[in-house]
Amino acid sequence: MTYEVLPHVLTVDEAMADGAPLLHEGMITKGVDPAPENPSNVASKILHERGDLDQGFGEAHVVVEREFTTKPVHQGYIEPHAAVADANTDGRAHIWCSSQGHFQMRAYSATVLGVSPGNLKVTAAEIGGGFGGKTVIYLEPLAVRLSQRAGRPVKLVMDRDEVFRATGPTSGTRIRVKMGVSEDGKITAAEVWMAYEAGAFSGSPVGAAGMTAIACYDIPNFVVEGYDVVCNKPRVAAYRAPGAPMAAFAVESVLDELARDIGMDPIDIRLANAAVEGTQASYGPKFPRIGFVETLEAIKDHPNYTADLGPNQGRGVSAGFWFNAGMMSSATVHINENGSATVVTGSPDIGGSRQSMALMAAEELGIPYESIKAVVADTETVGFNDVTGGSRVTLATGAAVVDACRIIVEDLRARAAKTWDVEVDQVEWVEGQAQHVEGTQPPLSLNDLAAKSGRTGGPISANASLNSRGVGAGFSTQLCDVEVDPETGVTRVVRYLTAQDAGRAISPDYVEGQMQGGVVQGIGWALNEEYIHNPDGVMENPSFLDYRIPVASDLPMIDCAIVEVPNPAHPYGVRGVGEVGIVPPMAAVGNAIRDAIDVRMTDLPMSPVRILEALNEQSD
């Protein structure tokens, strides 16, 4: 078989150029009024604006404008995409898959197969990494169809080459940022232009990028403009805070330049402009109580901020914002006959959420954590749960668990009242026991009530479902010290500190793990990782040998400062912590490199070759 190579476009620059080959003949850019007359490779435009841009720049003491590019990068999950399907003769099928959202897998697979979602039962296997890349389907419908043909269970597993070549990375981008500040460091105006690769079909994360780009700051005059651009590559997939890291790389790099130009401390310039409770976010709503200022102060107060730097070493600061998505969650809580509890949710655990569910249930029921088992059930066992992503699970699914536990507590009070033949309002639930308010009855433990459940109403169980919309905001500030070898261009991270507002850290060890994991992935993005394509769009580094992600020996211990400013939208003040940690690192590393070698790197990754080229240009 021979293939004819057609004209193609591989980057946003090529795709947006005049006369570029069109991927979709009828694609008219959405979000433009009036609508364009001619089709293009621009699927949509987003726009956020406020104030008077010209006036803002006119009031500025210093204005800096820079252009940045980033390459597509992969989520780097160790376990490849895999699925097992067992189709029955009655038209039903059971799918086991490596997924961040098996309800979503069911819906997508049902659509592809042309069947009702009720004909598919999906079980989420223990996942070996996802980071957003396992919120889409590749193998599942095919495994079902093959199982139907074979009359046997079918297992499909991608090899690493297939994962890299065929599954969605995140977008490559081109971003222009122009910002102005007054003499005292107040940002007077900001203009951000962004173009994000979507791959062969629309759907890049430029929308989220536009919402997060300047969300850390209270800026009176701004325009944020973004474009979703199709090109001849696999369609992009989510990657941890999708869209935000690239935007932060550009904005935070320019803010660092502005601080240098006016001789202001990089933390102080951020404090002077920091969003606080009541600030109207650049994307619309006013922030409730948030902890951005506290993360900045945590960095400034840490010993790392004033640690001595050696030759060829530099220090960089960066900040970032990400949402807590909320969305739909369900939970069921069963009380077992011995007084222990089983917490059932449908949110795959990719970061320790089962422990958090159990801890919150233990707090509500007043029983030891060891008496609770949290499980992730299949799609036929528990109510609908949205995908595990958007830093939503501990926040939203956790809230559903809390609601279910509170229903159970009310049920337990009613059962105790029935046992004592008193009104329910005469019963309190205190530390895992029903107690009579006047102390005239001996307390009844959860164990006691569970043992008698058959005589007081039957099994003790409760379900709760909710749609938790836009219920949180997460901020992180990070400090990076690097050493750059001027002979080789190699950058070594010497020290790294991350401060993040967790609201309330239900499980501090897991919170630190999420913070550190995001930082490590961001450092890899900053220094090493990129898709390398030949002129025909063929990926040339589809292995972990040539696409190098950081390993433990590459980096120092990532120091963590957990900031706890309670989220008013959660019963325990929780904020999701899984994603915002990856937003600041690229700019933090870039700002540190700038401090070390006096060269501003504007293209990612900041590899040894690129650093040497920049140093050579500087010497010329």
C-alpha triplet 150, 151, 155: angle, nearest 5°? 65
Q: Identify which of 320, 326, 347 has the alpha carbon closest to the alpha carbon of residue 501.
A: 320
Residue carrying structure tokens 């591989």: 10
Pair 493, 557: CB distance under 8 Å: no
Q: Binning pLDDT at 50, 70 and 90, where does residue 60 land?
A: very high
Q: What is the Cα–Cα distance from 200 to 537, expressed in whole angstroms?
A: 12
| Residue 414: CB atoms within 10 Å | 15
DSSP letter (8 states) at residue 331: E
What is the spatial distance between Cα 527 and Cα 519, in angstroms, rounded to a whole number? 12
| Residue 471: pLDDT band with limits 50, 70, 90 | low
Q: Running DSSP on this structure, what letter comes out for residue 235?
A: P
Residue 174 one-letter amino acid: R
* pLDDT band at residue 470 under the 50/70/90 scheme: low
Whether the CB-CB separation of 525 and 586 falls below 8 Å is answered with yes
- Rounded to a whole number, what is the distance in angstroms from the first to the last CA of the chain? 51
How far apart are alpha carbons 123 and 231 in whole angstroms? 34
Quote the tokens at residue 501: 């507002």
Mean pLDDT, residues 403-428: 98
Please report the pLDDT score of residue 619 as a whole number.
81
**Predicted confidence (pLDDT) per residue in 500-517, tens digit:** 999 999 999 999 999 999
CA distance linking residue 473 with residue 469, whole number of Å: 12
Q: What is the pLDDT of residues 254-303, one digit of tens each?
A: 999 999 999 999 999 999 999 999 999 999 999 999 999 999 999 999 99
How far is the C-alpha of 164 from the C-alpha of 74, rounded, in Å? Answer: 7
pLDDT at 620: 74
Q: 454 pLDDT band (50/70/90 cuts)?
A: very high
In Å, the largest CA–CA distance within the chain is 91
Query: CA-to-CA distance for 172 and 116, rounded, in angstroms?
Result: 36
Query: d(Cα 126, Cα 387) in Å, to the nearest integer?
Result: 15
CA angle 519, 524, 528 (to 5 degrees): 160
Task: Return the pLDDT at 17.
Answer: 98
- Cα 146 to its chain centre, rounded Å, is 34
Name the band, by pLDDT with cuts 50, 70 and 90, for residue 156. very high
**Do residues 304 and 287 lie in contact, with contact meaning Cβ atoms separated by under 8 Å?**
no
Closest CA to 539 of 81, 20, 163, 22: 163
558-563 and 491-501 beta bridge pairing? parallel
pLDDT tier at 326, thresholds 50, 70, 90: confident
Percent of the chain past pLDDT 70, that is, above it, reads 100
CB burial of residue 264 (10 Å; 0-12, 13-18, 19+): middle
Q: Which pair of structure tokens corresponds to residue 419? A: 């046992």
Rounded distance between C-alpha atoms, residue 303 and residue 315, angstroms? 13
pTM of the model: 0.96
DSSP state of 303: G
E strand or H helix at 180, and its extent?
strand 173-181
pLDDT band at 618, cuts 50/70/90? confident
Nearest to 457 by CA among 405, 407, 414, 409: 414
Question: HSE-up of 152 (CA within 13 Å, CB side)?
Answer: 4
Which residues make beta-bridge pairs with 217?
274
Residue 316 reports pLDDT greater than 90:
yes
What was the pLDDT predicted at 510? 94
Q: Which pLDDT does position 468 carry in this prediction?
A: 84
- CA–CA dist 585, 579 (Å, integer): 12
Domains and CATH numbers, the chain: 82-166 (3.30.365.10), 242-324+472-619 (3.30.365.10), 326-469 (3.30.365.10)
Mean pLDDT computed over every residue of the chain: 97
Q: How far is the C-alpha of 398 from the C-alpha of 331, rounded, in Å? A: 8
d(CA 439, CA 479): 56
Average pLDDT over residues 150-176: 98
